[in-house]
Structure 1
């Protein structure tokens, strides 16, 4: 599904005082314009942050075909995103454990897309590449990804209901090419976010079947979407909501700010004072 980019605001957002007023209050207070409503204001301006300002007008690559991740990035003002899905097979051994599995998968995705796009002569090299991977970890420690078929989908949701509680883990990897010759030629930061999700133990088999028939959860880890009809299965969550959607936005912004730091600050870690070596 193609996601339209949000329009930039055509006028400043309303003041806090105006925002508290209802449309009816505006109608009553407008002199000589009773019954005429003012047009609604446009969307608020994008976040005025140095890292995000540096990226506007640059090539931002999302190594994912997920429209949900693209929509979340738009919320922090990254509306012009180049979608370049990773071709990484996502077939690592589950024996790695949930944390290492999801982190290594996201890292492999960002490396895969970076290696291809860094030499893109048509569009130019990316200013930044963002990749993510989301898994469900059942209460007994099993790693769940997207359901394979309808029977698997039903069994997966019944298990999550019967176990009552599970975790959603999303790993995010952000990579930026460096202008300097410092090995390996890029700066990369990663993070794993974890959210606890509690299903309603009273949901019936009929409700699960009805939800599966909607095909809403086919393309989602764990077989449900919290932002769509899958919310009817959930009693409550503990942690980041957008992490369950597929991209922990607060953590992603921090990673972006970290990799966008000036290179001279990053290179400080590689500097060794010769006088310190002599003293040793």
Structure 2
């Protein structure tokens, strides 16, 4: 475990972000952490040492993010690991969700990630090192969850931007990892972390069943241990060749393998139609 790197973690007042910050500090690692309310963040983390820099940050504001990154570098002298963790769930059918509800989800889950990366990269590029961890979801790899179309769309976007970003920054010595957790026992499925549509359509039985399952059956019984997830993220930052995709949890492992197998089968089943759309190559 490398203790000399400076971490910057968004969305750190609860959930996986909070557990990660607490684990970093417990291991003597310096971390700047952001939340909309800095007092709530301080109270949640419970650490008042110079190794912890709490920052009130609005991820919708480029100026606010710029200020947070600058304060981090001013306080610690550098920044090495960027963890884009802030985000929230949105549960509702595509038809039910309003334009404003969907755009609000993208504002934090996607554009917030873009904003942080844009403000952090000048420092990482200049020092020719760094590691960006974008917290996605198994829902960013497999979208077959009724009612999670908007949320999965945000996480698929995070996966796509991360893969492209990795190619852009590799020559600067900056690494990128997509963290794709399954269900972890945090407050992610609580009312404070998941949005519901203002207008529900009763006919969407699959969506209502999914909503009930997530809020009343899955919540509090998730297999994933947040402490172990935090330890896994800390570990890969020390790896010389970290993974592009880090799936966390046995459920995520199973879902990812199922998606890969299904795609491979479709590729083979429809190969003749797929390849038939090329221009015919004239034989010489």
Q: TM-score, normalised by structure 2?
A: 0.33
Normalized per residue, the structure richer in strand is 1
Q: TM-score, normalised by structure 1?
A: 0.33
Greater RCO (Cα-Cα under 8 Å, separation 6 or more): 2
Higher radius of gyration, 1 or 2: 1
